[in-house]
Amino acid sequence: MADKQLNLAADFPHADDAQWMALVEKALAGKPFDKVMRSKTYDGIAIEALYTRDNARIEAHPASRNGEWLITAPHWSDDPARVNAEILEDLERGASAFAVRMQAGAFPGLAVGDLDAALSGVYLNMARFQLMPGEEFEEVAEAMLGLIKSDGHGGTEYNGTLGVDPLGTLAQTGRLKDKAEIALEKAANIAARLSDTAYQDIKTFNVDASVYHIAGATEAQELAMMLATGVSYLRAMVTAGMSVQAAAAAVEMTLAADADIFIGIAKFRAARRLWARVVESCGADSGTGIRINAVTSLRMLTIKDPWVNVLRGTAACFAAGVGGANAITVLPHDTLLGMSGRSARRIARNIQIILSDESSLSRMADPAAGSYAIESFTSEICDKAWGLFQKIESEGGVLPVLKSGSFVKDIEASWRERRSNIAKRKDAITGVSEFPDVNEKPLKDVGPQPALPSQIPAAGETLAPLPFHRLAEEFEVLRLKSDAMLEEGGMRPRVFIAGLGSPADFTARATFARSFFEAGGIEAIPSEGFEDMASLKAAYSSSEAPFAVICGSDAQYESLGLEAAEALIEAGCSRIYLAGRPSDPTKLEAAGVGEMIYMGCDVLDTLTRAYELLGGKS
């Protein structure tokens, strides 16, 4: 009995794709399958409705992370006492690593001279460090290695990265202290010197591809620049006298993790597979693998309704953890508002503790392996990224591509496509473009951002820096205009909800209209519904709203729409909107309806023009 296998599927008749398709088509009731059940990523990768062993792409995959990922706490204050206190608190309360942003060029952060004070009392042999030195990588590396030497422990006890990334710094900030070629040579020399010491677990280079993600890159574009940048550093190190194997061991990667869980998992898996292919192609042993850091996406974070950032951070951390990241940084939910408060930092740590320890996500190596969908996404992303990588290499590598701006143009094209979907709310932003709260209370426990450096050294290399994009940026510009109008005049811009008939007739469209306008900070003033036009005129006049939106059923629009529009015009309404998309709006437009709002219309354009109608107040 104990040897008998339990096969639950044997109790059910076999189902094939044709049977499934027949049931789907019945449920779709004539709607096109490809439009409803298939979609594409911004890389053009098809997302199928169903993945089976027949259409899945499962390919060989290198060894993934084995064991827990490191919980990394970020620090970007310019106050060494604050950085020190927060690092110690983070390490005492669950973090296993820390990252420090250093002041460099026009970027604020910790001054290199304050590094000693910031790390006072920190056991550097017990916590992994991750430095972000920018263009000051030489000085920062020297200071950090000096602290480690004076710490007095054996070289093998230290683990971290000096964070040298001159090409990423040039792309992000648009400048370097030296010519790029000289900066590469200096960076490679640091790696060569470090490879001759006992500090074999300290990496020199950290290829931070998240800077391209912030600029609007797709998954494949981010990975392609990761590969091309990493190869540039390998070449520089080999030129400095290192073997390919030693050079590969001196590099680690950082990728952005966003809230698209399944594509995010596939991206991190693809990064490991792609780099193994690069190392193997260079003649080195790819079995040791690459160290991959994840940082939750700045691009996905919002200023408005920042509590939703907790959910975004959780989804991103899940994706990075399941995808095999070795270390994860969850940015606190108040990151965009200033220096994070203690509560926000605690929540960011606890997200990881809950996912890694309480949910046991880190106890299985590559838990997504064998998933038909994720395996297929991984393979497709690898194909796209490798093709883009080859294109970059054919144009001379990262530096020529950055100088020519060719790849940046590709990223900008990807961003324009994404921006169009954001504007139409096809890509919804919870708390901003969907379910906004115009009267939300601001967070209190947030400090001011560090001051910009007062003195910036002359640059040896300059180019146009990558743009900094956020998904919510244009909606939040309008929200901030609304806040300014409230502060200056005591009232936000308003739109009157002119409901026709009973609540059953207009509630659905009134709810849509409220979310539509409040996404741009235009406060929706509700009503109880009207059939008497005199009551409608009186209610609108008392609302103090310059705009109105008529909401009701199609039948109500036929019977009351014209009268409602005429009544609102008589009451002085400067712009009338109608929720819905009538097949023939000619008569409504003649009566004064200026614009229809509906699912799929350009919400940002409509809201921007509404503020233009307000004139100087906007």
Tell me what percent of the chain is helix, strand and coil, each rounded to the nearest 5: 50, 15, 35
pLDDT of residue 618: 38
pLDDT digits (tens, 9 = 90+) for 312-343: 999 999 999 999 999 999 999 999 999 999 99
pLDDT of residue 4: 67
pLDDT digits (tens, 9 = 90+) for 225-277: 999 999 999 999 999 999 999 999 999 999 999 999 999 999 999 999 999 99
Residue 330: count other Cβ atoms within 10 Å of its Cβ: 30
Task: Give the residue among 553, 532, 542, 550 at the shortest CA–CA distance from 588.
Answer: 550
pLDDT at residue 570 above 70?
Answer: yes
Structure tokens at 149: 């030497």
Structure tokens at 570: 């008589």
Q: How confident is the model at residue 2 (pLDDT cuts 50, 70, 90)?
A: low
Give mean pLDDT, residues 179-193: 97
pLDDT digits (tens, 9 = 90+) for 344-357: 999 999 999 999 99
Give mean pLDDT, residues 417-433: 97
Task: Give the residue among 347, 302, 338, 331 at the shortest CA–CA distance from 447.
Answer: 338
pLDDT digits (tens, 9 = 90+) for 388-424: 999 999 999 999 999 999 999 999 999 999 999 999 9
Q: Are strands 202-208 and 175-176 parallel, antiparallel or unpaired?
A: unpaired
Q: How confident is the model at residue 8 (pLDDT cuts 50, 70, 90)?
A: confident
pLDDT of residue 436: 97
Q: What's the CA dihedral at 338, 344, 349, 350 to 10 degrees?
A: -160
pLDDT of residue 16: 83
- CB–CB of 55/20 below 8 Å? no
Task: Supply the pTM of this predicted model.
Answer: 0.94
% of the chain exceeding 90 in pLDDT:
88
Separation in Å, CA 118 to CA 124, 505, 585:
12, 63, 66
Highest mean pLDDT, choosing among 360-364, 442-446, 514-518: 514-518
Rounded to an integer, what distance in angstroms lies between the CA atom of residue 170 and that of residue 462?
7
426-454 b/e (C-beta count within 10 Å ≥ 16 → b): eeebebbbeebebeeeebeebeeebeebe
Strand partners, 129: 98, 160
pLDDT of residue 3: 62
Q: How confident is the model at residue 1 (pLDDT cuts 50, 70, 90)?
A: very low
Rounded to an integer, what distance in angstroms lies between the CA atom of residue 188 and that of residue 457?
23
pLDDT digits (tens, 9 = 90+) for 297-320: 999 999 999 999 999 999 999 999
Q: How confident is the model at residue 287 (pLDDT cuts 50, 70, 90)?
A: confident
pLDDT at residue 616 above 70?
Answer: no
pLDDT of residue 10: 74
Helix, strand or coil, per DSSP, at residue 425: coil
Residue type, 297: S
Task: Give the residue among 428, 516, 389, 375 at the shortest CA–CA distance from 51.
Answer: 375
Q: Is 54 exposed, middle or buried (0-12, 13-18, 19+ CB in 10 A)?
A: exposed
Rounded to an integer, what distance in angstroms lies between the CA atom of residue 239 and that of residue 181?
12
Task: State the chain's mean pLDDT as an integer.
Answer: 94
